[in-house]
Amino acid sequence: MRSSHSVLISAIVLLFAGCANPLNQATSDRYAAQCSAAESTGDLASAEEACYRSVKNVDWGNLGPELKSQRLYNLARIKRRLAKFAEAEEVLKESLAIEETLSGPTGVKIGRRLVELSVNLAGQNKWSEGEIVVSRFIPISTAFVGQERTYTKEVLLRYAATMDKLGNVQSAEKFKAAAAAL
């Protein structure tokens, strides 16, 4: 009798371990809200910590890949603003890999992550690697609106100027044309 109870309890524990945990959902949401609030007041160190905790609660609560991708993206944006470009690059690549399995290679969410990745690569002076990323987001960028579109245009123009300085006229012209189309 004792062993059947142990088996039953073990099965229940395993069942709950594989399910999303509402407590972690609420905690992750709370940290995400704190991250956003701290970012809006310019307290980026607090924003980074809160975004990090929101990601961890997604993991602990098994809250799914879509939420994890979004939380990672938010963390990466904060890290970029803190000039932690290498850390942001790593986090963005993880978010990008998840997002590609969810929405395919040409969705707007992919485009957002590619723009952010290109900025982080530029911050590390990895212009050649960034050039490939920029070329990837150009077809997606026409779907951007508002500030997203303006920011992307600025990224394209900065890459164009750098490609000009590096003697890569073909890429510079392509990036200028893409910026003009936005």
pLDDT (0 to 100) of residue 12: 41
And the tokens for 42? 């310019």
Are 137 and 153 in contact, with CB atoms under 8 Å apart? no
The predicted structure's pLDDT at residue 5: 54
Instruction: Kindly report, residue by residue over 36-69, the tens digit of the pLDDT.
Output: 999 999 999 999 999 999 999 999 999 999 999 9
pLDDT tens digit sequence for 68-83: 999 999 999 999 999 9
Whole-number pLDDT of residue 14:
39
| DSSP per residue, 53-113 | HHHHHHHHTT--HHHHHHHHHHHHHHHHHTT-HHHHHHHHHHHHHHHHHHH-TTSHHHHHH
Query: For the chain, give me the number of helices (H) and strands (E)?
Result: 9, 0
| More confident site: 14 or 181 | 181
pLDDT above 90 (res 149): yes
CA pair distance 155, 137, nearest whole angstrom = 11
Predicted TM-score (pTM) of the model is 0.86
How far apart CA 175 and CA 103 sit, in angstroms, is 25
Which pLDDT value is given to residue 174?
98
pLDDT band at 141 (very low <50, low <70, confident <90, very high): very high
| CA nearest to 111, candidates 161, 46, 178 | 178
Above 90 in pLDDT, residue 20?
no
Confidence category of residue 170, pLDDT binned at 50, 70, 90:
very high
Q: What is the pLDDT of residues 77-130, one digit of tens each?
A: 999 999 999 999 999 999 999 999 998 888 999 999 999 999 999 999 999 999
